[in-house]
Amino acid sequence: MAELIQTQDRKLRTEEMVIQMGPQHPSTHGVLRLEVTVEGEIVTHVKPYIGYLHRCFEKHAEQMGNYSQVIPYVDRMDYVAAMSMEWSYVLGMERMLSIQIPERVEYIRVIMAELQRIASHTIAIGTFGLDLGAFTPFLFLLRDREMILEIFERTCGARLLYNYFWIGGLSHDVPLDFVDRTRQFCTQFKKTIVEVNNLLSYNEIFIKRTANVGILPANVAINYASSGPVLRGSGVDWDLRRDDHYSIYNRFDWQPQIGKGERGTVGDCWDRYIVRCREMEQSVKIIEQAIEQLPDGDVQSAIPKRIRPNASEIYVRTEAPRGELGFYIVSDGSGSPYRVKGRSSSFVNLSVLPEITRGYMIADLVAILGSIDIVLGEIDR
């Protein structure tokens, strides 16, 4: 009897186990492998392995015949937000060449970038819901995303990889029905946001799966140089559209959205999710104002016939859907770039994963990764 009591009092001993999640796991949002160390169901460490999608973007850029030929390769970094990728690169080249672009180009770029932000966030939010078992919101969001892709296709002929933002202008002016189609989308999408909030955002089960899970404190987010919805979800009021003063965002009435811990703790999965939902509402506000103010003009009048910047270097950043996208461009005075270095927001945001998964369950790991919203094409440059 005494031996039995001693056995019961003895602390249960467990052993750590290493689980490989990916690179084909359906919830990893790309070709990513996570080496997960667990004690029972509890995650003690996560080590991301990248490189499965490497396409040598930076080396390709250095081998191009001229600067314009880099743009189609930039598209393929974040293939879910190609317009945003192009804007950062061409903005850097325009500043390097001191090109003043027409007003009409500025407005069209803002409209396209905000449509692209919505299209990107619909994928992020829809697949995040799928990860946690919610199927219907995904269908509603993809339905409306198709309206954006049709606008893009009618404008430049492509649905995913556009080569639309050119150095000094645009490859095409917008079609005659562009404003009407964009207005129709905005009207439709406002209704969809209400549906998604009713079905998913304030759903009791969804909140229990995301609130107080994967908490990223503001100081940790800043120290890791996180950006975009991941940083703003931690309560940090920082948005390059407002704070870096590029383009014409200061002409519109809109506000960056931040996490406030409304359903849990500031910086949890729910906060990162709701920031993206509310950003889409702000994007609709910007688009509606921009199409009302859209001026006439030629979208190709400032495109240079010959691009050969002086020997110089520049770093330019923009607010892409996943955060700060930057390009460091070095010219040696020739007609092709000496160096093009991309600063990936997804790469930086993914690096916080080991910090915010420790102590949660394996099922929570899928939710935490989905809340970061990574695209591996941007990470594996």
Q: What are the extents of the domains in the chain?
A: 14-379
| Tens digits of residue pLDDT in 56-66 | 898 989 898 89
Assigned token pair, 149: 């892709």
Eight-state DSSP code of residue 13: P
Q: What is d(CA 321, CA 4) in angstroms, rounded to the nearest whole number? A: 60
Asked if 369 and 210 count as a contact pair (C-beta separation under 8 A), the reply is no
Please give the full DSSP string across 117-131, using - where no structure is assigned.
HHHHHHHHHHHHHHH
3-state helix, strand, coil in the chain (%, to 5): 50, 15, 40
Does the pLDDT of residue 338 top 70, yes or no?
Answer: yes
Centre a 10 Å sphere on the Cβ of residue 314 and count the other Cβ atoms it contains: 17
In eight-state DSSP terms, residue 234 is: T
Residues making up the chain, counted from first to last? 381
* Conformation bin of residue 57: beta by default, left when phi > 0, alpha when psi is -120 to 50: alpha
pLDDT band at 6 (very low <50, low <70, confident <90, very high): low
pLDDT digit string, tens, across residues 279-289: 999 999 999 99
Compute the distance between CA of residue 288 and CA of residue 291 in angstroms, rounded to an integer.
6
Between CA 177 and CA 172 the distance in angstroms is: 14
> Mean pLDDT score of the chain, rounded to an integer?
93
Angle, vertex CA 117, rays to CA 111 and CA 121, nearest 5? 150
Banded model confidence at residue 4, pLDDT cuts 50, 70, 90: very low
Query: What are the φ and ψ backbone dihedral angles of 366, each rounded to 5 degrees?
Result: -65, -40
Between the alpha carbon of residue 6 and those of residues 1, 72, 217, the distances in Å are 9, 70, 43
Find the DSSP H helices in 255-295.
269-293
- The closest alpha carbon to 286, from 234, 238, 247, belongs to 247
State the Cα–Cα distance between residues 84 and 115, nearest whole angstrom.
10
For 26, the enclosing helix (H) or strand (E) is none
CATH architecture, domain defined by 14-379: Orthogonal Bundle (1.10)
On whether the CB atoms of residues 186 and 284 are closer than 8 A, the answer is yes
**Averaged pLDDT, 290-318:** 96
What per-residue confidence (pLDDT) applies to 5? 47
The DSSP code sequence of 155-211 is HHS-SS----EETTEESSPPPTTHHHHHHHHHHHHHHHHHHHIIIIIT-HHHHHHHT
3-state SS, residue 293: helix
Residue 218 CA from chain centroid, whole number: 19
Segment 156-176, tens digit of pLDDT? 999 999 999 999 999 999 999
51 vs 145, higher pLDDT: 145
Q: Which of 149, 206, 203 has its CA nearest to residue 181? A: 149
39 forms bridges with which residues in the sheet? 42
Q: Are 148 and 119 in contact (CB under 8 A)?
A: yes
Cα–Cα distance between 235 and 271 in angstroms, integer?
A: 9
Mean pLDDT to the nearest integer, 97-104:
96
More confident residue, 9 or 94: 94
In this structure, what token pair is assigned to residue 316? Answer: 């330019």
Model-wide pTM > 0.85: yes
Q: Which token pair is 336?
A: 């092709």
